[in-house]
Structure 1
């Protein structure tokens, strides 16, 4: 029997396409916090049926980006900085515990476990492109937690990371913040390799706190700028 290639127009592929397009619109503030829209509007703009739009929207709802309004369509969830603050606080708790456990490993095992991070953040030439550094920053923190060997810690941390990505990536839109990330990651790794637990935890905590403050400031600025843009 001949096997036909999977079509890009299969329902799941269309739903994924719509999901990625809407998520990017939210991340770029083309869809603003508080904006309301209908499934028909999205379907017409993306030239698809309402079914993949609805599937994508329910996925975005589960992730906390949009909410459904009975009889009046959908809304991008209003920006809740208190919510993001709580996520950052939880992230700090998980990562401090990860650092504590990594510092307790035999030095040779720790060095082997974090060898890829050492290679990228300490030995290799720094990247300059913000989105690439953002992806590597995310991988750095995910790796620290996953390296503890606790799958539930890693799972919860990965879910948390996804939720804060909408604002966290903004920390890499400025050159000075990219430089600071390289320096701070290197200091965290060196403290871990030398089993200086309290120092590693302190650097990590300060690193996350500064990032949190910066992304809040940048987000407020971008929201303000987006609201000033003329409607096309």
Structure 2
């Protein structure tokens, strides 16, 4: 979406919020000049926003007079959450979606300009994102702003596992030392329920697991933030859940097993069983490593 459309949508939302908080049905809205000054936008953008409110039957305009006909409701607002995300996050989400959909595979080449256009971001944001990922051997830089997806081998998996094991065990140990009244325990219990619910629908909803997996392992990191671990976990998540070498025919079985392993880990954590939780996490990490190794030798 263009920058102009983003400004327009945000202004509409701002106007609707202003109306909800300061107006009642039958009131007259301020002039275009006043609104433009108040919200720091052009009068042209204000006029387009008012026209939009007219199309929703919220406002009636006669000459310069604008009358509020009805109070706005939730469905009248634009969803602009996507536009508030950092550009690099937008690039990452689009890049991962290309891999999930099979549009990027080992050996495929792509350009910075192409990815920038597809993700509606800048080539600068794309380049920064790709450079960060290239440090881990997942992609490589070619001449003329071209990039290439890479295969990886068993040695890569072993090295990645060693670092992941170190970080995850550290985070688990810290989490289990949280005080009883920490809000993170409530988040963990909610995740336990989500996992239980998903486990009953794995035949049809198995593709929902990566989202839950990211929430669970992310929660372990969030309880004791460490910027270096957080950045590395983005790479781990990418490799283990959006890996372009996965055999999709076994995805349901892999995710079903992983859900049960998560349930076992979380259950032990909620019971404050430090030893049991550690062993359960050890088993889960080893399962993920062995699954990756199978794809590395295909």
Query: For the superposition of Structure 1 and Structure 2, which TM-score range results when normalised by the shorter chain?
Result: 0.5 to 0.7
Residues 47, 93 of structure 1: alpha-carbon distance in 2 compared, 3 angstrom cutoff: closer
Q: In the TM superposition, what whole-angstrom CA distance separates every residue of 1:161-206 from its partner, at most 9, and x where no partner exists?
A: 3213333225785222222222211211222223222221111011
The answer (yes or no) to whether the contact 1:192–1:200 under 8 Å persists in 2 is: yes
Q: Which runs of 5+ in 1 are unaligned?
A: 222-232
| Structure 2 Cα separation of the partners of residues 29 and 192 of structure 1 | 36
TM-score normalised to structure 2 length = 0.55
Q: In the TM superposition, what whole-angstrom CA distance separates every residue of 1:47-106 from its partner, at most 9, and x where no partner exists?
A: 899x9346424422222254333x454232522343443233222222212222333345
How does 1:40-119 map onto structure 2 within 5 Å? 42=114, 52-53=122-123, 55-64=125-134, 65-69=138-142, 71-81=143-153, 82-106=155-179, 109=182, 111-112=185-186, 114-119=188-193
Partner of 1:180: 257
The answer (yes or no) to whether the contact 1:117–1:140 under 8 Å persists in 2 is: yes
Counterpart check, 1:167 vs 2:210: no
Number of equivalent positions: 209
Partner of 1:145: 221
Q: Which deviates more, 17-26 or 183-192?
A: 17-26
| Structure 1 Cα separation of the partners of residues 281 and 88 of structure 2 | 38
3-state secondary structure, aligned to 1:30: coil
> Which of the two has higher C-alpha Rg?
2
| Structure 1 Cα separation of the partners of residues 91 and 118 of structure 2 | 10
Partner of 2:280: 203
Q: In the TM superposition, what whole-angstrom CA distance separates every residue of 1:195-225 from its partner, at most 9, and x where no partner exists?
A: 222221111011011112213324655xxxx
Q: Which runs of 5+ in 2 are unaligned?
A: 1-35, 50-79
Higher relative contact order structure (alpha carbons within 8 Å, sequence separation ≥ 6): 1
The answer (yes or no) to whether the contact 1:36–1:73 under 8 Å persists in 2 is: no
The answer (yes or no) to whether the contact 1:36–1:74 under 8 Å persists in 2 is: yes
Q: Which deviates more, 204-213 or 75-84?
A: 75-84
TM-score normalised to structure 1 length = 0.67
- Root-mean-square deviation over aligned CA pairs: 4.0
